[in-house]
Structure 1
Amino acid sequence: MTGSLKSPPLLVRAPSHSASALDLPPDIIDGLRLYSAPAPEVEAHPEFPYVTWRLEPAQKGKVAVAANRGGPLDIAYEVHGHGPIHIVWIMGLGGFKTAWQRQTKDFSHTQADKYSSLIIDNRGVGESDKPMMRYSSSEMARDVLEVLDHIGWTEKRQLHVVGISMGGMIAQEVAFLVPERVATLCLVSTASGLFNTVGFVENIRNRINLFIPRSIDNQLAHVKHNLFTTKWLESPDDHEYTKQPFPTNCDRFAAGEISKRKDPAHFNRTGFMAQAIAAGWHYKSPEQLREIADKVGRERIMVVHGTEDRMITFPHAKVLIEGLEGIGEQQKGEVEKRLIDGQGHCIPIEMRAEFKTWLEGLIAKRNA
């Protein structure tokens, strides 16, 4: 285990030895291109208009939040399903609420009588407002709580909170603010604070550069490399489809990224950068993590991380777990850990069935 993070990062920096650390070798870029069609071909594919599934929500709308926190600003949300088990899905940097579509379908459409799922567009993306102001993970958590209050999910031990990447940072803040309302907490590919991580900085740079059309194929290659394993990218697309599958998972992911940029009202540089700054400044000290674990209950918490995550590298998971569990004589118990050898950043996508099983198991134990 690595030592606990002692102080909040002032800046998110790549190592200072050279800028070339942020560049992929040409052979890797060429290799990624072997199983990914150029952007125009992806956009011309019959399945491109259907890359976001048409999942009908039971409820949707916008909530004016942050009236006394620099707002008001509107946060868009959808509730899927009508079951008694309430899951809150919090998306990561630059991700729309629909990026949870696999889980939304698996939990709250296939099992609509059992699960209700709340998905939201965090401030800065999608149908939510994108004010030019400083964002923080704690303020974004308060946005989530105001939406939860609006839809009436206010009971004790009612919320099964799932957050990935930046969404996991927001989930930590939700648990810190209202631990008594959290039934389970699932933290996926996330960190209590970022420290010298090339992948995170590289991903931000390349996602920003995706706004430049001439560089989209090059930059998509970098983003794919940071977020997914090569094995998954080059595998045939086995997702649900409307017209026909994409040739590879790589093509399906590219279609989703390109589709986002066809509507700049929903995805723009201002909102993306504001979210990136919030993620870069997020910090929960070992003492704060211990408080979360004490009040929520370690048996209610699951940490999911891949050893080959290039976006938020594996040492971050170790620091997060140490903070939640304690170290040595101060260890108070264990959280559930799903630390997957060889896996990358987007585990709920690459390991969809396994992730569903893990989360259902965690929820079932706490609802027994």
Structure 2
Amino acid sequence: MKPYRTSGMAKDVKDLLDYVQWDQDRSLHIFGVSLGGMLSQNLCLLIPKRIKSISFVSTRCGSVLDIPSPRAMATLLNIVCRKGPYKKRVDLLLELLYPASYLNQSTANGQTRRDDLLKYYQTWFDRPQQLPLSGIFGQFCATAFHHCSDSSLKRIAAELYPAKIAVISGNQDELIDPLRSFELRGKLSGSELILFENAGHILNSQAPQQFNLLMERIIAEGNEAFQTKN
């Protein structure tokens, strides 16, 4: 098994964009979530002039080695190895990705958010495993050992300008410490920090309407930046 690197994954994205001839200047609005946000940092270094807006969502620059909590590690291990009953594994995953206050909210059908999410995840959670263990190991290594230096982040801010740069996080994210978003914002000059209150790791799932409106605003501001420039 070989570890993946976010730099190599970014190169794969660039190769795909080149193949489909999506290579025009200032033609991309990118939303990189979690590992995708780490990959996107490297993509910015490869093709800065193609980007109109970039959003780093629930992610980190890798200045320190953040080891997940023992609970998070145990949950991820149980999911990968399929240990224990289905409902127990999904419950553990939900508690890792969403705050308890959200999971316990009542819904219009008289159930809870947890009940609705259990039904949703059941549509795919126990399908035959598509990703081999080598792939899971590779992605884990890419996440754990990702590092985008201060000088690289400074270069991203300078070379993307005047593109819109946003850093987005939930203030109750258990997988990636929200402090890493504050750090990322501080190292990306001109970027905007958006913090979702009482939110966990998967913002587009927990607050879809709010997140979609935010996406629309970021895209519009990215477009406007270049209309003004021209």
TM-score by length of 1: 0.55
User: How do residues 164-313 of structure 1 correspond to structure 2 at under 5 angstroms?
Assistant: 164-193=33-62, 195=64, 197=66, 199=68, 202-210=71-79, 211-236=81-106, 247-258=111-122, 259-264=124-129, 266-297=130-161, 300-313=164-177
Structure 1 CA distance, aligned partners of 2:2 and 2:83?
A: 27
Aligned residues: 222
Question: Are the equivalent residues in 2 in contact too, given 1:287–1:323 (CA < 8 A)?
Answer: no
Task: Quote how far apart the aligned CAs of 1:215 are.
Answer: 4.7
Task: Quote how far apart the aligned CAs of 1:342 are.
Answer: 2.5
Structure 1 CA distance, aligned partners of 2:92 and 2:114?
A: 12
Amino acid paired to 2:17: L
Name the CA shift for 1:311/1:143 in 2 (closer, same or farther; >3 Å).
same
Is 1:336 matched with 2:200? no
Structure having the higher helix fraction is 2
Amino acid paired to 1:151: V
Structure 2 CA distance, aligned partners of 1:161 and 1:201?
A: 32
Is 1:138 matched with 2:7? yes
Name the CA shift for 1:290/1:221 in 2 (closer, same or farther; >3 Å).
same
Q: Secondary structure at the match of 2:195?
A: strand
Task: Quote how far apart the aligned CAs of 1:360 are.
Answer: 0.9
Amino acid paired to 2:216: E
Question: Are the equivalent residues in 2 in contact too, given 1:199–1:226 (CA < 8 A)?
Answer: no
Structure 1 residue runs of 5 or longer lacking an equivalent are: 1-131, 239-244, 326-333
Amino acid paired to 2:42: E
TM-score by length of 2: 0.86
Name the CA shift for 1:337/1:299 in 2 (closer, same or farther; >3 Å).
farther
Structure 2 residue runs of 5 or longer lacking an equivalent are: 225-230
Question: Are the equivalent residues in 1 in contact too, given 2:48–2:156 (CA < 8 A)?
Answer: yes
Higher relative contact order at CA 8 Å, sep ≥6: structure 1 or structure 2? Answer: 2
Aligned CA RMSD, in angstroms, stands at: 2.4
Name the CA shift for 1:134/1:199 in 2 (closer, same or farther; >3 Å).
closer
Query: Equivalent residue for 1:350?
Result: 206
Structure 1 CA distance, aligned partners of 2:89 and 2:125?
A: 15
Question: Are the equivalent residues in 1 in contact too, given 2:181–2:193 (CA < 8 A)?
Answer: no
* Structure label with greater radius of gyration: 1
Range moving further from structure 2, 274-283 or 316-325: 316-325
Amino acid paired to 2:194: R
